[in-house]
C-alpha cells in the first residue's frame, strides 16, 4: 500500500521523516498533489498498489484521474488537513496524523449480510389535492403517482385529472420502501372513480358543501340531494352507499400533511414527510426506483437475550431506545424481533444491550477494536501523549470538524481565534455515534486513551443521547472508583456551526488519567468477554488497589449483584430457571442458591420471577476476585420424607406449602400427609391405601 501526503500549498507543517518512521514506509512530501504534481499521483496509481491519499477535498478529482489512466486500484482518502494540519497545535500533530494514516492502511472489513428493497415507483402522495397535484408535477414521469386527497386546500385543484385520486378516511399506513400498505375507508357519497369532474354538482349545491376535490363536506350538507339529480347519468353520488374498506400497496409515500403518518424519529425508508422547502430531500426521494441494498446492521442471539423467560418480562432496553420502531416483543416465542427493513443502523440497541444478544455489524465490534488499537498504538509509538478519541458521524459530525479546522486556518494569528482540533484529539468516524458503548470505551482507555468523547448533532434521536449519557455515567463511575483521575467520558452536543466555539473549548479540556501499562488484548465478538477483559486490565493497573465494591448508577448498568431476603426465600429456585446469563445456579449436593456476580447483567428477570419477592438488584462492580466465583446466596435444611427419610425439598418450602394447603378440602388427612413424602413414597402410598378411590371404581 502506497501513501501520498500533501501539505496543501505549504499550509500544514508536515514532517515526512517522522511520518515515514511511524508508518514504516518511505514518504515523499507534496505541496500540490491535485494540481502541478498530479503526475506523481498518476505514477503511484499505475503501480497497482492500493493507495492512501491524505486529502478528502479533491477525492473526486483523484478518482477521475485514476479513471482516465485506466487504474483500478482501490483508493482510500483521509482528512489530515482540517482534523490536524489546520490547527494552532499543528506543529505537534505528527503522531495524530500518523494514527489517522495507519487506520487507513487497515484492510476493509469482511462484507456483511444485506437487506434488499425493490421499488417499481408506485407512489402515494397524501395531502390537500391542489398541493398534491402540484407536487406530483415535480416528480417527472418516472413515478406512477396516486393522490389521496385531504381536502382541496388553498391552492385549488386542476380541472384535468392527470393522476388517480383516492378519498376517504385513512385508517393505517405501515411498511417501508417497496412495501407500504395503506388501509382506508371510502365513506364519502361521491365515488371519485365514477366522477367525471363535470362540476355540475358544485354548481347546484346551495351550501357549497362540495369542493374542487369532488368530495362532500357532510357537516355543511343539508341533504337537498340536488347533486344526486344532476349526476344521474354518471351515477357518482350515492348517499346510501355503505362505507367500504380498501387496502392498497405502494412503493413510495410522500406525506404533505402537517402531522406525519410516522411519528418515530427515524422514518421508514421510502417515506418522506415534506413541507415543500427541502428540494434536495425531495430529489433524493424521487430517485428511489429500482432495486436497492443496505447492510443488515445487526445480529441477534436469542439464547443470550434477557428480554423474557417463563412469560415474565425482563430487559426492554433495545425496544425502548429504538428510534425506528424496528424492535418489538415477540411474546409467543419470548424474545424480541427486529424488522431489518425498518432498522436504520444506529446500533444503539447493541450499545444498551447488557448481554450482547444484540450486536452491531457495520462495522463489527472486533473491526472497531482493531481500528482503535491501531490508532492508539501508532499515536503512542510516535510520541503522542494523552490521546483523546473523538467519535463522530460520517455526515454532519465530519462536516462540523471540517468547519472547525477551516475556521482555525482563517483566524490564524487572532488572539481569540478558533484553535481547531488539538494535536492530542484523534477523530474517529462512525456510521452512527451511538453504536459504541462502555465496553469499547473502557477498552480504549485500557489501550492508552486518556479520554473518549462522543460528538452528537441533531441527526441523532434524543433517546440516543440519553442512552450514551447513562453508559458514560457507568463507565466514569468505574474509573473514578478505581482511582483514575479526571473526566474520561463526555458527550458533546452541537447543533450547527454556531456551537463550534463551545466545541473548541471542550476539545481543549485537560487530559484524564490512563493506566500506566497499556493493554494488548483484542476486542471480542462477545460483548461481555470484551467488557471483562477491559475491566481485568483496568483493575489490575488501577491507582487504588484496596477498592471496596463500587456502587454503579441504577440506569444502564450491566454489572451488579443480588440482595436476597433469606426470611422470605423458600429456595424454590424459580430464579435459576429464569436467569438467561447463568448467574444463578442450584447445587445438586445440597439445597443452595448460588450466584456468580461476573455473569449478572442486571436484567431483573429473577426479581420479577421470584414468587416471594425476595430478590433485589444491586448495581455495582466488585473488584475482588470473588466476583468470578460462585458464592452461596441462601441455603436451607433439607426436608426428609416422613416415610423413607430421603431429602426431597427444603424445610421452609415444604412447611410453606403445608400451611397454604392445609385448609383446602382436597388436602385433608392422608392427602395432606402425602405432601410430606417424596415422589416415590407418594405413589406407593396412593396404591397401598385401602380407602383410596381408584378410577376403575368410578361407575359411568
Tens of pLDDT, residues 590-627 = 889 999 999 999 999 999 999 999 999 999 999 998 99
Distance CA 402, CA 394 (A): 11
pLDDT digits (tens, 9 = 90+) for 278-289: 999 999 999 999
Residues of the chain above pLDDT 90, percent: 75
DSSP 503-569: HHHHHTPPP----SS---PPPPSSHHHHHHHHHHHHHHT-S--S-PPEE--SSS----EEEE-TTT-
Q: Report the SS3 class of residue 65.
A: helix
pLDDT for res 311 = 86
pTM for this entry? 0.88
Is the pLDDT confidence value at 474 over 90? yes
Q: Domain spanning 296-360: which CATH class is it, in words?
A: alpha beta
Distance CA 253, CA 261 (A): 10
Residues of the chain above pLDDT 70, percent: 98
Nearest to 288 by CA among 252, 324, 340: 252
pLDDT digits (tens, 9 = 90+) for 94-114: 999 999 999 999 999 888 999
304-314 mean pLDDT: 91
pLDDT for res 158 = 84
Cell 490508532 belongs to 375
Q: Report the SS3 class of residue 619.
A: coil
pLDDT band at 697 (very low <50, low <70, confident <90, very high): low
pLDDT for res 515 = 97
Distance CA 122, CA 113 (A): 27
Q: Report the SS3 class of residue 54.
A: coil
pLDDT for res 654 = 82
pLDDT for res 243 = 92
H/E element holding 51? strand 51-53
- Mean pLDDT (the chain) is 92
pLDDT band at 116 (very low <50, low <70, confident <90, very high): very high
Give whole-number Cα distances, 151 to 156, 169, 223, in Å: 10, 11, 20
pLDDT for res 560 = 97
Main-chain phi, psi angles of 190, to 5 degrees: -90, 120
Distance CA 335, CA 328 (A): 9
Cell 503501480 belongs to 47
Distance CA 208, CA 531 (A): 70
Cis peptide before 333 (omega within 30 of 0): no
Nearest to 436 by CA among 359, 507, 518: 359
Can you list the positions of beta strands (E) in 221-348?
244-250, 252-255, 271-273, 290-295, 298-300, 308-309, 312-313, 327-330, 335-338
pLDDT for res 342 = 96
Distance CA 408, CA 421 (A): 9
pLDDT for res 698 = 58
Q: Report the SS3 class of residue 172.
A: strand
Distance CA 179, CA 247 (A): 12
Nearest to 439 by CA among 541, 519, 511, 550: 519
Is the pLDDT confidence value at 29 over 70? yes
pLDDT band at 332 (very low <50, low <70, confident <90, very high): confident
pLDDT digits (tens, 9 = 90+) for 127-158: 999 999 999 999 988 899 999 999 888 877 88
Q: Could you say which DSSP state residue 495 is in?
A: -
659-678 mean pLDDT: 83
Distance CA 253, CA 175 (A): 10
pLDDT for res 694 = 60
H/E element holding 445? helix 438-447
Highest mean pLDDT among 141-155, 518-532, 662-676: 518-532
Which of these ranges, 72-86, 410-424, 524-538, 558-572, has the smallest mean pLDDT? 410-424
pLDDT for res 639 = 84
Same fold, 296-360 and 559-635: yes
pLDDT for res 696 = 63
Domain ranges of the chain: 1-77, 117-292, 296-360, 365-543, 559-635, 638-697
pLDDT digits (tens, 9 = 90+) for 191-246: 999 999 999 999 999 999 998 999 999 999 988 899 999 999 999 999 998 999 99
Strand partners, 6: 30
Dihedral of CA atoms 182, 183, 188, 194 in degrees, nearest 10, equals: 60
85 with 16: CB under 8 angstroms?
no
pLDDT band at 692 (very low <50, low <70, confident <90, very high): low
How big is the CA angle at 677 (ends 672 and 680), to the nearest 5 degrees?
Answer: 125
Is the pLDDT confidence value at 333 over 90? no
Q: For the chain, how many residues are written? A: 700
pLDDT digits (tens, 9 = 90+) for 625-646: 899 999 999 998 888 888 898 8
pLDDT for res 687 = 83
pLDDT for res 167 = 92
Main-chain phi, psi angles of 151, to 5 degrees: 105, 165
Q: Domain spanning 559-635: which CATH class is it, in words?
A: alpha beta
The three cell numbers of residue 500 are: 463550534
Amino acid at each position: 500500500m502506497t501513501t501520498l501526503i500533501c501539505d496543501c500549498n505549504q499550509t500544514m507543517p508536515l514532517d515526512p521523516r517522522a511520518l515515514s518512521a511511524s508508518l514504516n514506509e518511505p514518504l515523499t512530501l507534496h505541496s500540490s498533489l491535485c494540481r502541478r504534481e498530479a503526475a506523481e499521483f498518476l505514477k503511484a496509481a499505475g503501480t497497482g498498489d492500493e493507495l492512501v491519499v491524505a486529502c478528502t477535498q479533491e477525492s473526486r478529482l483523484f478518482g477521475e484521474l485514476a479513471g482516465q489512466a485506466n487504474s483500478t486500484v482501490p483508493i482510500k482518502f483521509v482528512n489530515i488537513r482540517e482534523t490536524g494540519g489546520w490547527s494552532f497545535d499543528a506543529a505537534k500533530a505528527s503522531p495524530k496524523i500518523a494514527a489517522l494514516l495507519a487506520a487507513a492502511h487497515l484492510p476493509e472489513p469482511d462484507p456483511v449480510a444485506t437487506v434488499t428493497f425493490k421499488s417499481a415507483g408506485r407512489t402515494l402522495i397524501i395531502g390537500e389535492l391542489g398541493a398534491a397535484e402540484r407536487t406530483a408535477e415535480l416528480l417527472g414521469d418516472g413515478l406512477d403517482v396516486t393522490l389521496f386527497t385531504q381536502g382541496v386546500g388553498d391552492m385549488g385543484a386542476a380541472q384535468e385529472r392527470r393522476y388517480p385520486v383516492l378519498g376517504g378516511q385513512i385508517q393505517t399506513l405501515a411498511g417501508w420502501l417497496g412495501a407500504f400498505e395503506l388501509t382506508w375507508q371510502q365513506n364519502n357519497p361521491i365515488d371519485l372513480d365514477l366522477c367525471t369532474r363535470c362540476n355540475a354538482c358544485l354548481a347546484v349545491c346551495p351550501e357549497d358543501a362540495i369542493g374542487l376535490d369532488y368530495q362532500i363536506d357532510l357537516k355543511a350538507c343539508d341533504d337537498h340531494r340536488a347533486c344526486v339529480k344532476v349526476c344521474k347519468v354518471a351515477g357518482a353520488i350515492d348517499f346510501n352507499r355503505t362505507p367500504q374498506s380498501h387496502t392498497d400497496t405502494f412503493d413510495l409515500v410522500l406525506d404533505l400533511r402537517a402531522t406525519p403518518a410516522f411519528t418515530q424519529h427515524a422514518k421508514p425508508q421510502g417515506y418522506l414527510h415534506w413541507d415543500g422547502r427541502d428540494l434536495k430531500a425531495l430529489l433524493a426521494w424521487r430517485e428511489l426506483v429500482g432495486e436497492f441494498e443496505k447492510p443488515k446492521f445487526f445480529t441477534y442471539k436469542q439464547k443470550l437475550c434477557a428480554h423474557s423467560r417463563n412469560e415474565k418480562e425482563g430487559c426492554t432496553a433495545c425496544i425502548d431506545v429504538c428510534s425506528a420502531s424496528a424492535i418489538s416483543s415477540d411474546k409467543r416465542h419470548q424474545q424480541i424481533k427486529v424488522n431489518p427493513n425498518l432498522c436504520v443502523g444506529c446500533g444503539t440497541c447493541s450499545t444498551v444491550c447488557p448481554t450482547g444478544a444484540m450486536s452491531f455489524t457495520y462495522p463489527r465490534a472486533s473491526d472497531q477494536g482493531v481500528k482503535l488499537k491501531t490508532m492508539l498504538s501508532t499515536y503512542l509509538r510516535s510520541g503522542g501523549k494523552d490521546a483523546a478519541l473523538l467519535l463522530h458521524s460520517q455526515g454532519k459530525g465530519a462536516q462540523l470538524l471540517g468547519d472547525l479546522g477551516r475556521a482555525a486556518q482563517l483566524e490564524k494569528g487572532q488572539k481569540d481565534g478558533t484553535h481547531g482540533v488539538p494535536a492530542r484529539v484523534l477523530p474517529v468516524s462512525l456510521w452512527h455515534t451511538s453504536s459504541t458503548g462502555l465496553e469499547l470505551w473502557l477498552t480504549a482507555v485500557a489501550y492508552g486513551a486518556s479520554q473518549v468523547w462522543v460528538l452528537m448533532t441533531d441527526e441523532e434521536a434524543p433517546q440516543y443521547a440519553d442512552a450514551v449519557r447513562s453508559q458514560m455515567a457507568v463507565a466514569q463511575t468505574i474509573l473514578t472508583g478505581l482511582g483514575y483521575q479526571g473526566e474520561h467520558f463526555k458527550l458533546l452536543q452541537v447543533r450547527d456551526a454556531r456551537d463550534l466555539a463551545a466545541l473548541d473549548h471542550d476539545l481543549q479540556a485537560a487530559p484524564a488519567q490512563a493506566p500506566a501499562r497499556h493493554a494488548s488484548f483484542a476486542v471480542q465478538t462477545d460483548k461481555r468477554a470484551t467488557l471483562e477483559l477491559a475491566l481485568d486490565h483496568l483493575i489490575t493497573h488501577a491507582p487504588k488497589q484496596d477498592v471496596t465494591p463500587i456502587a454503579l448508577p441504577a440506569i444502564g448498568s450491566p454489572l451488579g449483584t443480588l440482595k436476597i431476603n433469606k426470611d422470605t426465600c423458600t429456595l424454590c429456585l424459580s430464579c435459576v430457571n429464569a436467569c438467561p446469563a447463568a448467574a444463578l445456579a442450584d447445587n445438586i449436593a445440597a439445597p443452595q442458591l448460588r450466584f456468580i456476580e461476573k455473569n449478572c447483567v442486571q436484567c431483573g428477570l429473577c426479581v420479577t420471577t421470584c414468587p416471594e419477592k425476595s430478590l433485589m438488584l444491586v448495581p455495582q462492580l466488585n473488584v475482588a476476585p470473588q466476583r468470578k466465583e460462585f458464592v452461596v446466596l441462601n441455603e436451607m435444611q433439607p426436608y426428609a420424607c416422613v416415610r423413607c427419610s430421603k431429602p426431597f425439598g427444603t424445610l421452609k418450602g415444604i412447611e410453606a406449602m403445608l400451611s397454604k394447603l392445609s385448609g383446602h378440602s382436597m388436602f385433608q388427612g392422608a392427602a395432606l400427609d402425602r405432601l410430606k413424602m417424596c415422589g416415590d413414597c407418594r405413589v406407593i402410598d396412593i396404591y397401598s391405601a385401602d380407602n383410596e378411590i381408584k378410577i376403575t371404581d368410578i361407575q359411568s
